[in-house]
Amino acid sequence: MSEFTDFEAALSTERFGAYMLSCDNDRSKAMDLYTLNTRVSASLYAPLQALEVTLRNRFHHQLSEAYGEDWYDQHGVITQLFQRQKILSAQVDLAASQKQLTPGRIVASLTFGFWTSCLSFTYDDSLWRRGGLSKAFMAGGEKPNRKSVNRVLTPIRQLRNRIAHHEPILYFDLPKHHRNILMVTHWLMPIAAEWAAAHSTFASTYYRTIAAQMLKPAAREEVRRT
Protein backbone atom coordinates (compact mmCIF):
# COMPACT_ATOMS: atom_id res chain seq x y z
CA MET A 1 0.00 0.00 0.00
CA SER A 2 2.86 2.43 0.78
CA GLU A 3 4.22 2.22 -2.75
CA PHE A 4 0.87 3.35 -4.11
CA THR A 5 0.79 6.22 -1.64
CA ASP A 6 4.27 7.30 -2.71
CA PHE A 7 3.36 7.12 -6.38
CA GLU A 8 0.16 9.06 -5.77
CA ALA A 9 2.25 11.83 -4.23
CA ALA A 10 4.52 11.83 -7.27
CA LEU A 11 1.55 12.30 -9.62
CA SER A 12 -0.28 14.77 -7.37
CA THR A 13 -3.44 13.97 -5.45
CA GLU A 14 -5.62 15.78 -7.98
CA ARG A 15 -4.29 13.91 -11.00
CA PHE A 16 -4.33 10.46 -9.41
CA GLY A 17 -7.72 11.25 -7.87
CA ALA A 18 -9.39 10.99 -11.28
CA TYR A 19 -8.22 7.40 -11.58
CA MET A 20 -9.22 6.67 -7.97
CA LEU A 21 -12.70 8.02 -8.64
CA SER A 22 -13.07 5.75 -11.64
CA CYS A 23 -11.94 2.71 -9.66
CA ASP A 24 -14.03 3.22 -6.51
CA ASN A 25 -10.93 4.29 -4.56
CA ASP A 26 -9.15 0.99 -5.23
CA ARG A 27 -5.50 2.10 -5.47
CA SER A 28 -4.35 -1.08 -7.19
CA LYS A 29 -6.97 -0.75 -9.92
CA ALA A 30 -6.27 2.98 -10.22
CA MET A 31 -2.60 2.23 -10.81
CA ASP A 32 -3.54 -0.28 -13.50
CA LEU A 33 -5.75 2.32 -15.15
CA TYR A 34 -3.01 4.93 -15.00
CA THR A 35 -0.58 2.47 -16.58
CA LEU A 36 -3.12 1.64 -19.28
CA ASN A 37 -3.57 5.34 -20.05
CA THR A 38 0.21 5.61 -20.46
CA ARG A 39 0.35 2.63 -22.80
CA VAL A 40 -2.53 3.85 -24.95
CA SER A 41 -0.97 7.32 -25.12
CA ALA A 42 2.31 5.79 -26.28
CA SER A 43 0.50 3.72 -28.92
CA LEU A 44 -0.65 6.92 -30.63
CA TYR A 45 2.84 8.38 -30.92
CA ALA A 46 3.66 7.10 -34.42
CA PRO A 47 0.38 8.23 -36.03
CA LEU A 48 0.54 11.66 -34.36
CA GLN A 49 4.19 12.07 -35.36
CA ALA A 50 3.40 11.24 -38.98
CA LEU A 51 0.52 13.71 -39.04
CA GLU A 52 2.36 16.57 -37.35
CA VAL A 53 5.57 16.30 -39.37
CA THR A 54 3.74 15.81 -42.67
CA LEU A 55 1.36 18.69 -41.96
CA ARG A 56 4.09 21.21 -41.23
CA ASN A 57 6.20 20.14 -44.21
CA ARG A 58 3.28 20.24 -46.64
CA PHE A 59 2.22 23.65 -45.30
CA HIS A 60 5.77 24.95 -45.56
CA HIS A 61 6.02 23.72 -49.16
CA GLN A 62 2.76 25.36 -50.23
CA LEU A 63 3.36 28.65 -48.41
CA SER A 64 6.92 28.82 -49.78
CA GLU A 65 5.56 28.54 -53.31
CA ALA A 66 3.06 31.30 -52.66
CA TYR A 67 5.06 33.75 -50.52
CA GLY A 68 8.69 32.66 -50.57
CA GLU A 69 10.65 30.35 -48.27
CA ASP A 70 10.58 32.95 -45.49
CA TRP A 71 6.79 33.31 -45.70
CA TYR A 72 6.56 33.46 -41.89
CA ASP A 73 8.42 36.80 -41.96
CA GLN A 74 6.49 38.30 -44.86
CA HIS A 75 4.20 41.20 -43.93
CA GLY A 76 0.52 40.28 -43.78
CA VAL A 77 0.96 36.52 -44.13
CA ILE A 78 0.84 35.37 -40.50
CA THR A 79 -1.24 37.86 -38.56
CA GLN A 80 -2.44 36.17 -35.37
CA LEU A 81 -0.58 37.47 -32.32
CA PHE A 82 0.12 34.10 -30.70
CA GLN A 83 1.55 32.80 -33.99
CA ARG A 84 3.80 35.85 -34.33
CA GLN A 85 5.00 35.17 -30.79
CA LYS A 86 5.73 31.53 -31.65
CA ILE A 87 7.81 32.60 -34.64
CA LEU A 88 9.74 35.14 -32.57
CA SER A 89 10.30 32.60 -29.80
CA ALA A 90 11.68 30.08 -32.30
CA GLN A 91 14.04 32.69 -33.74
CA VAL A 92 15.22 33.81 -30.29
CA ASP A 93 15.84 30.22 -29.16
CA LEU A 94 17.81 29.39 -32.30
CA ALA A 95 19.88 32.57 -31.98
CA ALA A 96 20.58 31.79 -28.31
CA SER A 97 21.83 28.36 -29.39
CA GLN A 98 24.03 30.07 -32.00
CA LYS A 99 22.23 28.29 -34.82
CA GLN A 100 21.56 29.84 -38.19
CA LEU A 101 17.98 31.04 -38.61
CA THR A 102 17.18 28.86 -41.60
CA PRO A 103 13.56 28.33 -42.72
CA GLY A 104 13.87 24.61 -42.05
CA ARG A 105 14.92 25.13 -38.43
CA ILE A 106 12.26 27.74 -37.78
CA VAL A 107 9.52 25.62 -39.35
CA ALA A 108 10.57 22.59 -37.28
CA SER A 109 10.39 24.69 -34.10
CA LEU A 110 6.77 25.76 -34.57
CA THR A 111 4.08 23.94 -32.62
CA PHE A 112 1.19 21.83 -33.85
CA GLY A 113 -1.12 24.54 -32.53
CA PHE A 114 0.63 27.07 -34.77
CA TRP A 115 -0.03 24.94 -37.85
CA THR A 116 -3.65 24.12 -37.08
CA SER A 117 -4.30 27.82 -36.48
CA CYS A 118 -3.40 28.39 -40.12
CA LEU A 119 -6.76 26.78 -40.89
CA SER A 120 -8.83 29.33 -39.00
CA PHE A 121 -11.40 31.56 -40.72
CA THR A 122 -8.94 34.45 -40.52
CA TYR A 123 -6.81 32.77 -43.18
CA ASP A 124 -9.54 31.52 -45.47
CA ASP A 125 -8.33 33.75 -48.30
CA SER A 126 -4.65 34.49 -47.55
CA LEU A 127 -3.48 30.98 -46.63
CA TRP A 128 -6.15 28.50 -47.67
CA ARG A 129 -6.81 29.94 -51.13
CA ARG A 130 -3.95 32.21 -52.19
CA GLY A 131 -1.41 30.47 -49.96
CA GLY A 132 -2.27 27.09 -51.41
CA LEU A 133 -3.03 25.23 -48.17
CA SER A 134 -6.09 23.74 -49.86
CA LYS A 135 -3.72 21.94 -52.24
CA ALA A 136 -1.81 20.44 -49.32
CA PHE A 137 -4.74 18.12 -48.59
CA MET A 138 -5.27 16.85 -52.13
CA ALA A 139 -2.37 14.39 -52.37
CA GLY A 140 -4.65 11.49 -51.44
CA GLY A 141 -7.19 12.40 -54.11
CA GLU A 142 -9.59 14.16 -51.73
CA LYS A 143 -10.68 17.80 -51.92
CA PRO A 144 -11.77 18.66 -48.37
CA ASN A 145 -12.75 22.23 -47.57
CA ARG A 146 -11.10 24.32 -44.86
CA LYS A 147 -13.96 23.95 -42.39
CA SER A 148 -14.02 20.17 -42.59
CA VAL A 149 -10.25 19.91 -42.15
CA ASN A 150 -10.31 22.30 -39.21
CA ARG A 151 -13.22 20.41 -37.64
CA VAL A 152 -11.26 17.16 -37.71
CA LEU A 153 -7.89 18.60 -36.67
CA THR A 154 -9.11 20.61 -33.67
CA PRO A 155 -9.95 17.58 -31.46
CA ILE A 156 -6.82 15.80 -32.70
CA ARG A 157 -4.77 18.78 -31.50
CA GLN A 158 -6.53 18.65 -28.13
CA LEU A 159 -5.81 14.93 -27.85
CA ARG A 160 -2.18 15.45 -28.87
CA ASN A 161 -1.73 18.14 -26.22
CA ARG A 162 -3.22 15.95 -23.48
CA ILE A 163 -0.81 13.16 -24.42
CA ALA A 164 2.11 15.61 -24.45
CA HIS A 165 1.17 16.79 -20.94
CA HIS A 166 0.67 13.22 -19.64
CA GLU A 167 -3.03 13.71 -18.97
CA PRO A 168 -5.86 11.13 -19.04
CA ILE A 169 -7.20 10.41 -22.53
CA LEU A 170 -9.28 7.25 -22.05
CA TYR A 171 -12.59 9.12 -22.08
CA PHE A 172 -11.91 10.27 -25.69
CA ASP A 173 -13.38 8.34 -28.61
CA LEU A 174 -9.89 7.10 -29.39
CA PRO A 175 -10.73 4.71 -32.25
CA LYS A 176 -12.41 7.61 -34.05
CA HIS A 177 -9.43 9.90 -33.48
CA HIS A 178 -7.01 7.20 -34.62
CA ARG A 179 -8.98 6.80 -37.86
CA ASN A 180 -9.09 10.57 -38.35
CA ILE A 181 -5.34 10.93 -37.78
CA LEU A 182 -4.66 8.38 -40.51
CA MET A 183 -7.31 9.91 -42.77
CA VAL A 184 -5.91 13.45 -42.62
CA THR A 185 -2.37 12.13 -43.03
CA HIS A 186 -3.57 10.31 -46.15
CA TRP A 187 -5.01 13.56 -47.49
CA LEU A 188 -1.60 15.16 -46.98
CA MET A 189 0.62 12.31 -48.19
CA PRO A 190 -0.59 8.71 -48.61
CA ILE A 191 2.85 7.16 -48.05
CA ALA A 192 3.07 8.84 -44.64
CA ALA A 193 -0.33 7.43 -43.70
CA GLU A 194 0.78 3.96 -44.79
CA TRP A 195 3.89 4.25 -42.59
CA ALA A 196 1.81 5.43 -39.64
CA ALA A 197 -0.67 2.58 -40.03
CA ALA A 198 2.13 0.03 -40.31
CA HIS A 199 3.87 1.24 -37.15
CA SER A 200 0.84 2.11 -35.05
CA THR A 201 0.34 -0.14 -32.02
CA PHE A 202 -2.97 1.49 -31.12
CA ALA A 203 -5.34 -1.30 -32.15
CA SER A 204 -3.49 -4.07 -30.32
CA THR A 205 -3.06 -1.92 -27.20
CA TYR A 206 -6.53 -0.43 -27.06
CA TYR A 207 -8.81 -3.27 -28.09
CA ARG A 208 -6.96 -5.95 -26.20
CA THR A 209 -7.63 -4.14 -22.94
CA ILE A 210 -11.05 -2.69 -23.89
CA ALA A 211 -9.82 0.66 -22.60
CA ALA A 212 -12.91 2.56 -23.72
CA GLN A 213 -15.03 0.79 -21.08
CA MET A 214 -12.62 1.17 -18.16
CA LEU A 215 -13.29 4.81 -17.33
CA LYS A 216 -16.65 5.31 -15.64
CA PRO A 217 -18.84 8.18 -16.90
CA ALA A 218 -18.96 9.63 -13.38
CA ALA A 219 -15.21 10.26 -13.51
CA ARG A 220 -15.12 12.02 -16.86
CA GLU A 221 -15.69 15.56 -15.64
CA GLU A 222 -13.09 15.01 -12.92
CA VAL A 223 -10.65 13.74 -15.54
CA ARG A 224 -11.27 16.76 -17.75
CA ARG A 225 -10.27 19.09 -14.92
CA THR A 226 -6.97 17.33 -14.18
| Percentage, residues of the chain above pLDDT 70 | 90
Decide: 76 and 126 in contact? Cβ < 8 Å.
yes
Distances (CA, A) of 19 to 39, 93, 129, 206, 211: 15, 38, 46, 17, 13
Beta-carbon neighbour count of residue 38 at 10 Å?
Answer: 13
CA 87, CA 7: separation in Å to the nearest integer? 38
Question: Is the predicted pLDDT of residue 43 greater than 60, yes or no?
Answer: yes
Question: Is the predicted pLDDT of residue 49 greater than 60, yes or no?
Answer: yes
- pLDDT tens for residues 129-162? 999 999 999 998 888 999 999 999 999 999 999 9
| Percentage, residues of the chain above pLDDT 90 | 68
* pLDDT at 225 (0 to 100): 46
Residue 152 amino acid letter: V
CA 20, CA 14: separation in Å to the nearest integer? 10
Question: Is the predicted pLDDT of residue 226 greater than 70, yes or no?
Answer: no
Residue 56's contacts (CB-CB under 8 Å, 6 or more residues apart) are 107, 108, 110, 115
Helix, strand or coil, per DSSP, at residue 13:
helix
CA 223, CA 217: separation in Å to the nearest integer? 10
> Can you state the percent helix, strand and coil of the chain, rounding each to 5?
75, 0, 25
Residue 223's nearest CA partner among 169, 157, 164, 174 is 169
Residues 167, 171, 175, 177, Cα dihedral to 10° = -60
Question: Where in the chain are the domains?
Answer: 1-42+202-226, 45-199
pTM confidence score: 0.87
